[in-house]
Amino acid sequence: MVADPTLRELEARILSCTDCRLHLSRKRAVPGEGPADASVMFVGEGPGFHENEQGRPFVGAAGKFLEELLEGIGLSRAEVFICNVVKCRPPGNRDPLPEEMDACAKYLEEQIRVVHPRVIVTLGRFSMARYFPGARISAIHGKSREIGGRMVVAMYHPAAALHQPSLRKDVQADFEVLRSLLSEAESQPETPPESSSDATQLNLF
């Protein structure tokens, strides 16, 4: 459970959400977790088997690899905010459908507004498409773009690197980019939340 009252209230709404058909097959919704003032937010695709069982994001093999990557750049899981484009598991780990992502978009937008991270890292195709429509991950991974006063960087999903070990080096290099982005961001004054509406930006996509 998250400590911040606004995030807690959002979490309660997600846990009881019935806005798309994924609520019919979920065991537990997976709102996401992390500090309300995290500098970095990771946005994955959607809960898998283990996440659906435990109600927590990235707790399976991909999550373990994500934790290793974080440790590699001196961060711990407890310092970052981790969530997904859809908060309930698509049955059989199928891709989330457009209407499911649309129904869930309000929750991600609210999480971004509240946490107001300096850097958003997209993990996988669906979160990448929100910020980099039409892009190919092989072309843009590790490249950052400023959107609504924060940096957004697309990375391979950790599960992809587990299935394709040749991607591991790319993912590790992309985490070094994240390390630099965070230290750059920390040396600059923070943009006030009012002037960096991701909700506005996201509606453009």
What are the residues binding ligand URA (CB under 6 A)? 44-48, 51, 57-58, 62, 84, 124, 159
CA dihedral sign of residues 115, 118, 124, 127: positive
Residue pair 6/114 in contact by the 8 Å Cβ criterion? yes
Q: Name the residue number minimizing CB distance to ligand URA.
A: 44
CA dihedral sign of residues 26, 99, 94, 151: negative
Nearest approach in angstroms of CB 186 to ligand URA is 27
Nearest approach in angstroms of CB 69 to ligand URA is 14
Backbone angles phi, psi at 41, to 5 degrees: -120, 130
Can you tell me the distance from the alpha carbon of 167 to that of 157, in angstroms, rounded to the nearest whole number? 10
* CA 116 remoteness from chain centre: 13
Q: Which is nearer to ligand URA, 26 or 196 (CB)?
A: 26
Nearest approach in angstroms of CB 15 to ligand URA is 15
Output b/e per residue, 61-78; b: 16+ Cβ within 10 A.
ebbebbbebbeeeebeee
Q: Which is nearer to ligand URA, 84 or 196 (CB)?
A: 84
Bin 49: left if φ > 0, else alpha if -120 < ψ < 50, else beta.
alpha
Can you tell me the distance from the alpha carbon of 122 to that of 150, in angstroms, rounded to the nearest whole number? 13
Nearest approach in angstroms of CB 152 to ligand URA is 17
Q: Which is nearer to ligand URA, 48 or 148 (CB)?
A: 48
Structure tokens at 198: 């991701």
Q: Which is nearer to ligand URA, 84 or 201 (CB)?
A: 84
Q: Which is nearer to ligand URA, 45 or 174 (CB)?
A: 45
Nearest approach in angstroms of CB 9 to ligand URA is 21
Closest residue by Cα to residue 82 from 30, 33, 153, 127: 33
Q: Which is nearer to ligand URA, 34 or 124 (CB)?
A: 124
Nearest approach in angstroms of CB 173 to ligand URA is 21
